[in-house]
Chain A
Amino acid sequence: MTYAGLPVVIVSRCSGPKVVEVKMSSKTLLNCETSSLRHPNNRLSAHLEQLPFNYRATVLLPDCGCAPSQLDETLRSFQSFYLVRNLPLYELLDEHLGRGSVCGLSYKTRIDEDNCAFLKANGHLCLSLDKDSYELLGIEGKACKPKSSRYVVSVDLNDRSMAPGRPRYQRLFSGLTSRLPLKMEFLLAPASGDPDALQPLLSRYEWSRHTPEVSCRLLTHLSRPDPLTCDLRSYDPFDLLEWLGAVQADISCDNAADSFLSSLACPHPSAQSSQSSFLLEVRGLLLPQNIMTLVKQLSHFLERPLSPPWAAVTVHGFMDNLHVHERHFYTLVLFPDHAYSLHLATPAS
């Protein structure tokens, strides 16, 4: 089976999620998974957890005259996040934080040059260090394969051996206080939804509170895939993703003869919509549970009569935070029958 002449590998053919992998380049594969939200085996939440910290989510609703009201409430329910300046890393080990109540990542640290750190909601603390810092710290870590000048130290703070008072905890604590006292700007959010979890930490350092910014606009005369002739799922994933990206970036897809800037076009068969389309963008520190709430809300919205034929959600993760650079964004296309198709890039092994 080929998609527009490209080699395709079908990974699983069970009745549940169907996964198709298309080769994008020598090092990345485009992974397209189709399934239903109601299916018990669906791995959507696992995929969402792959990107624990996201800075942007865009929602495109074609043929939708006005903004859905419930979406507003959902967006307002997203937790606010805090930017803390000069936070020493050993504070993240603090037992008062109650592992699992806070998550966050270092801000304005470049993954290829500086030392970066992030703390996931499940208690995993991950440090990405350059060679000198790793040699000073003294905790076992792994070298990143492409170059041995970057080391990753990964610690599970919920593990029994990392309980305060144990030798491993003492070593990490003394390493972060005396041998390598790192201080970074951190973006923190309460993972369990309880805003008071951060209070003891915030009282000691300079902080500022932020809420996710929402911006929306209506696109008129958008040419999009014709819903009457064929289903969105039958389109080539590459073309579809290209078109979605062009719409979100506000690039005209007319493919006019006198335009030299872009030759991007809507995949055929396409038609111009009579109604306006709704484009919503959320910027902030978005956690996987926020994305899941948004997806469920949209899926309910699509069930109603006179709703658009599909909705596309693109989520971008913080780039300076991950070691897998291919996988820093994904696109989720939702359909009325609680079905979805997820497109993400994975490294080719």
Chain B
Amino acid sequence: MDEAVVETHIPCDLVKVLGVEPQIRSKAVAFTQAFLKKNTEPRPQLDEKSLLSHKAVILEYTRPKKKRINKQQAKGLNAQQKREIKIFHIKSEHQRYELFLPLHNLWKQYIIDLCSGLKPTSSPQSVQQKLLKADFHGAIITVVRSKCPSYVGITGILIQEFKHVFKIITKQDTLKVIPKRNSVFQVEINGFISYIYGNKFEQRASERSAKKFKISGTIDL
């Protein structure tokens, strides 16, 4: 706003209406200054001289600011979300036995490498120890014995291993879900036939590699 507007004379007709007394200029200036001084706070911070005294100002060198690492990792999905988006679900057009045969070949290679060449002379003990920690995705599994008779005889490639079940795809292109409990499975690799007792195998594949197996309890179903 223009200062000149504040300093103009009040027009004569307004004087009667407002009931004020116009003052001469010098008196008005003095009054205004005194009024402002009384009613505003003193502001010492903005005083330039006080700002610059007793202060050290770093002119050129500054520390680079550390970027705060986000300590919270990505939360991941909880089980309900996983079930909703069906990440473990295999679509029906993908449920074909031929599609998984290359996986089986890969698994065979993996096991042969793991047991450092499965020769007929290698001891079953060492092979067994390695198999305990191995992953079985892609193995051809047969149910040999089971408390439930309808599971006996099912053969197929293992496509998913969960904590309590095996998901197997059979030659007839059907996906079978077989609980591990109360069943005995047979895995064959290069002439070594291994029997897996499902009752003792109820861990996730990832957790089993770290687990120590104890010889305890009966292996009766």
Contact = CB atoms under 8 A, between A and B. Distances in A.
Contact of B152 (A131, A132, A179): A179
Interface string B126-168: 0000000000000000001111011111000000000000000
Interface string A176-202: 000100000000000000000000000
B221 interface: yes
Interface stretch (A94-102, A136-144, A240-248, A262-270): A136-144
Contacts of A132: 145
Contacts of B221: 131, 135
A203 B56 CA distance: 117
Interface residues of B, number: 10
A111 B69 CA distance: 74
A131 B218 CA distance: 15
Interface string A138-155: 111100000000000000
A140 B3 CA distance: 107
Contacts of A276: none
A234 to B, nearest CB: 53
Given A134-B149, A135-B152, 8 more contacts: A135-B145, A135-B149, A135-B221, A140-B149, A141-B149, A171-B153, A174-B153, A175-B153
Contacts of B146: 135, 138
A246 to B, nearest CB: 47
Interface of B: 144-147, 149-153, 221
Nearest to B149: A138
Contacts of A139: 149
Nearest to B154: A138
B64 to A, nearest CB: 70
Contacts, number: 30
A248 to B, nearest CB: 44
B43 to A, nearest CB: 94
Contacts of A174: 153
Contact of B153 (A134, A138, A140, A141): A138
Contacts of B152: 135-138, 175, 179
A174 B142 CA distance: 15
Contacts of B153: 138, 171, 174-175, 179
Contacts of B147: 135
Centre residue among B146, B151, B153 by max chain A CB count within 10 A: B153
A136 B150 contact: no
A179 B150 CA distance: 13
A109 B149 CA distance: 24
Interface in A66-82: none
7 contacts: A136-B144, A137-B152, A139-B149, A174-B153, A175-B152, A175-B153, A179-B153
Nearest to B144: A136
A179 B149 CA distance: 12
A179 B152 CA distance: 9
B178 to A, nearest CB: 13
Contacts of A141: 149
A140 B144 contact: no
A175 to B, nearest CB: 8
A27 to B, nearest CB: 29
Contacts of B149: 134-135, 137-141
Centre residue among A134, A137, A138 by max chain B CB count within 10 A: A138
Contacts of A138: 146, 149-153
Nearest to A132: B145
A132 to B, nearest CB: 8
A309 B221 CA distance: 60
